[in-house]
A and B are shown apart, each in its own frame.
Chain A
Amino acid sequence: MTTVRALVIDDSRTMRSLLSRQLVALGYEVLQAGHGEEALEVLERAGGEVPHLATVDWNMPVMDGLTFVQKVRSRPEWRSISLMMVTTEAEYDQIVRALAAGAHEYLIKPFTQEAFIDKLDLLGLVPAKALS
């Protein structure tokens, strides 16, 4: 079984730690970034081994999550990355904007671990051993 890889992008290290822990428990290899630009650098360095999943906070310094999503979706070599917004932006219009920009899923903070795993499941990203 190939290793699943995730990139967790959030300016709060508490949130990065929380999401990373949950992903590691599911069998993921996890990289982190504190804002969109840092995350793009991680993707550039990844070469052919891009992450299967990126969790994307919206409000971050330097480059916000929406801009990051737009940039990722404009690169054909990064088409395979599933993009899940994980953000406190909870307005209906914001969700529409993010999906229109190319985000695949949207998780509003706060969220339970079960809800996060549900969203991963919708994206087909729960490694087989974690399902009953």
Chain B
Amino acid sequence: MSSDAQAVEPAVSPAGGKPSRAGIRLPGAGDALNKGLVVTYLGLIVLLPLAAIATKSFEDGLGGFWNAVSSPQAVASLELTVTASLIVVAINAVMGTLIAWVLVRDNFRGKGVVNSVIDLPFALPTIVASLTLLVVYGKDSPVGINIAFTQAAVVVALLFVTLPFVVRAVQPLLLSIDRDMETAAESLGASKTRIFWRIIFPNLAPGIATGIALAFARALGEFGSLILISGNVPFKTEVSSVFIRGQIESDNLVGASAVSVVLLAISLLMLAFITFVQRRGSRHDQ
């Protein structure tokens, strides 16, 4: 018979639950090998590099770390990055929900195409995004809008790359909303606005939150789409990722690592904040 003749050991089942279904029964040469490979893969490719950044950033001690992240240029880049990301995320919260609404509730010719196009920023290389935005909103703009080398360009580029996050997070929630709830509210005399805010929005909130978290993380670290259109002028239009590149090219790896750590920390903070808001909101569900 087969080589893996071990008896199937069930996972621990919660008290009172059905007999567990999970067996440690992975294909091939046994699950130990499988797990080992996955862990090694992740370790070499993800964990190790992350650890290296953390270590490097403190190579010159706390003082060195602080110096690196408090230099005027670094601070300026962080201010710009965080501000732009927050603005972009706020716009996305509104526009993303709106677009999801139109895609789910409305019907018009070409809706399918529009729906597919939403994913374009996911599929398009960031450098191409940068180039296309420059062509349209730069010096030779066909629509007469030239925002190249301004902070507005940073916002526009970030809007481009973060477009799909909120839309795609909200769509499935909108689709699965029980329309009967809305009809019931209407029969009780509620206006459309009230129905939206009291019935629909609470169900969309988790999706919006997820979308915001992802969009923020993406915006914070965005690089390629900004390269060509923002001009990367230090203290004006230089975002942190560009600043970090500059530090690497000047062989200041400690400084680059330190600012990287700060970016990561800000990302985590936002995530924690959103999780906190979500938990508070979901208490109403019980």
A, B bound: no
